[in-house]
Amino acid sequence: MQREPVHDLIGVGFGPSNLALAVRLAERRNAAPAAHCFIEAQAEFGWHRGMLLDDSRMQISFLKDLVTLRDPKSPFTFINYLFERGRLQDFVNLKNFYPTRVEFHDYLRWVANAFDDQVHYGERVTAIEPVMAAHDASVVTQLRVFSRAADGRERQRLTRALSVGMGGTPQIPPAFAALREAPVLHSSRYLTEIDQYLGNPVRRQRVAVVGSGQSAAEVFIDLTRRYPQVDATLVMRAPVLKPADDSPFVNEIFSPAFTDLVYAQPRDARQSLIDTFRDTNYSVVDRPLIEQIYELLYVQSVSQSPRHRLLPNCALEAVQHDSGDSRGVLALRLRDRLNHTVSSEHFDVVVLATGYRRDAHHVLLDGLDAALGQTVEQCDVARDYQLVTPAHFQPRIYLQGCCEDSHGLSDTLLSVLARRADEIALSLDADEAVSATASSAQRCTASHAGAAHLAAML
């Protein structure tokens, strides 16, 4: 009977996190590429395609690419990408550290292309189950990874280690959760779907964007430019659009040394550090974009034809969908958070720029709860991003992008990717060396026992 192949590592998702890991694993000495693979739900590589707006820029320096901070001599630097594309000289002339997201996406895809043979695109990982040792059903030695392709075809693969890099899932406010077939979309699907709602250029339409962070501001300004027939409203909980703090001392929180600092703290102190620096990433907007929005509203006020507006201090209480309402099919009930008055606003389309949840791995890994003796959510995560498991649970599970609570604000961002990939690869190497030593020690003990047994027989 043919034995099922067992991978050294399977990556769930092939976004920037696992892509950085693929690059790092390729540098391992005696690397056997076939021993690891990645499974990606999208049909081809894509980095937040739904928000690849033409003029949106990166929020970090291009030097925080997949490798430079770990190995500036790597062939996979952003600079080498520019060189290979014949744009290095022109890029220098731009005098800008922040490329467009469209260009960074092209860079990521260029790197991803080099690893095509390691990625199973168009397959969604649906479940992970423990595999017990043949000789002892209480010991988990491997994981079985189940996936489903777009055509419904199911696959299973075995692995000794897992790297979960699934990214976020759209956060939908409770008021919208029950709506079906309403013209509501999350910002993650903005570019791919908005045209189906606003494709008619002669029909004047009111669009609400809910949120007060970078994506909300980007969608708001994009609506005003892309669709001349649209009146756009930014519905915000916050009193104003606040700028993201990217000043130099504050930016140090995105360094690996700061990850060490956060990780070393007790739980409460970690949370307080995260809260202190929240305005680097959450509910904040790049200053130039704030200025563009301010100017847009100012120019409107000069011409006395206000069409686009901000609605600050709004708590969203309820939503009603009535496809026959000529004022707009979606009625939003809003409570003013300062004076507590309630108003109703009507819109034709709502875009939810309400962020992402980072807990999809809890469901994906819940088939392991019994073997772990607790839920994945209850398990600690070690500094090397490895889920802390009991001794009888041997497979290693690394979590990327869902460890903000323990590893700090950089965890969901690109800043730490190069170093995190290194830390995970070193951890894998160390564990493999320990297993190799343990199995050679076992072989040794077994051969000593065999020798003793033979001696006794003689």
Is 76 in a helix, a strand, or coil? coil
Q: Does 400 bind ligand FAD (CB under 6 A)?
A: yes
Residue closer to ligand FAD, measured from CB, 16 or 130: 16
Q: Quote the strand ranges of 211-270, DSSP E.
A: 230-235
Residue closer to ligand FAD, measured from CB, 21 or 329: 21
Q: Does 100 bind ligand FAD (CB under 6 A)?
A: no
Q: Does 17 bind ligand FAD (CB under 6 A)?
A: yes
| CA 97-167-405 angle, 5° bins | 90
Residue closer to ligand FAD, measured from CB, 165 or 183: 165
Structure tokens at 399: 């979590």
Please work out the total of residues on this chain that contact ligand FAD, with binding judged by CB under 6 A.
29
Tell me how far apart the alpha carbons of residues 162 and 9 are, in angstroms, rounded to a whole number: 5
Location of structure tokens 């490895």: 386
Contact segment (CB under 6 A) with ligand FAD among 34-42, 152-160, 257-265, 373-381 equals 34-42
- CB within 8 Å of 338: residues ≥ 6 apart: 239, 313
Instruction: Compute the least distance from the CB of residue 11 to ligand FAD, in Å.
Output: 9
* Interface of this chain with ligand FAD, residues 218 to 277, rule: CB under 6 A: none
Tell me how far apart the alpha carbons of residues 231 and 233 are, in angstroms, rounded to a whole number: 7
* Interface of this chain with ligand FAD, residues 411 to 450, rule: CB under 6 A: 412-415
Structure tokens at 48: 């937040």
Residue closer to ligand FAD, measured from CB, 146 or 348: 146
Residue closer to ligand FAD, measured from CB, 165 or 328: 165
Residue closer to ligand FAD, measured from CB, 389 or 410: 410
Contact segment (CB under 6 A) with ligand FAD among 45-53, 257-265, 317-325, 436-444 equals 45-53
Structure tokens at 200: 């008619």
Are the beta carbons of 233 and 206 closer than 8 angstroms? Answer: yes
Instruction: Compute the least distance from the CB of residue 241 to ligand FAD, in Å.
Output: 17
Residue closer to ligand FAD, measured from CB, 48 or 206: 48
Contact segment (CB under 6 A) with ligand FAD among 37-45, 314-322, 382-390, 448-456 equals 37-45
**Per-residue binder mask for ligand FAD (CB under 6 A), 148-177, x = binder:** -----------------xxx----------
Instruction: Compute the least distance from the CB of residue 304 to ligand FAD, in Å.
Output: 35
Structure tokens at 390: 């009991």
Cβ atoms within 10 Å of 222's Cβ, excluding its own: 21
Q: Does 395 bind ligand FAD (CB under 6 A)?
A: no
Partners of residue 405 on adjacent β-strands: none
Q: Determine which residue in the list 99, 256, 401, 408 makes contact with ligand FAD, applying CB under 6 A.
A: 401
Tell me how far apart the alpha carbons of residues 209 and 188 are, in angstroms, rounded to a whole number: 13
The amino acid that residue 83 corresponds to is F
Tell me how far apart the alpha carbons of residues 237 and 165 are, in angstroms, rounded to a whole number: 30
Classify residue 49 by burial, with Cβ atoms within 10 Å: 0-12, 13-18, 19+: middle
Q: Does 292 bind ligand FAD (CB under 6 A)?
A: no
Maximum distance among all alpha carbons in the chain? 106
Structure tokens at 231: 């009146």
Q: Does 40 bind ligand FAD (CB under 6 A)?
A: yes
Instruction: Compute the least distance from the CB of residue 74 to ligand FAD, in Å.
Output: 18
Instruction: Compute the least distance from the CB of residue 402 to ligand FAD, in Å.
Output: 8
Tell me how far apart the alpha carbons of residues 450 and 443 are, in angstroms, rounded to a whole number: 10
Q: Which residues contact ligand FAD (rule: CB under 6 A)?
A: 12-18, 39-42, 47-48, 51, 58-60, 124-125, 165-167, 215, 400-401, 412-415
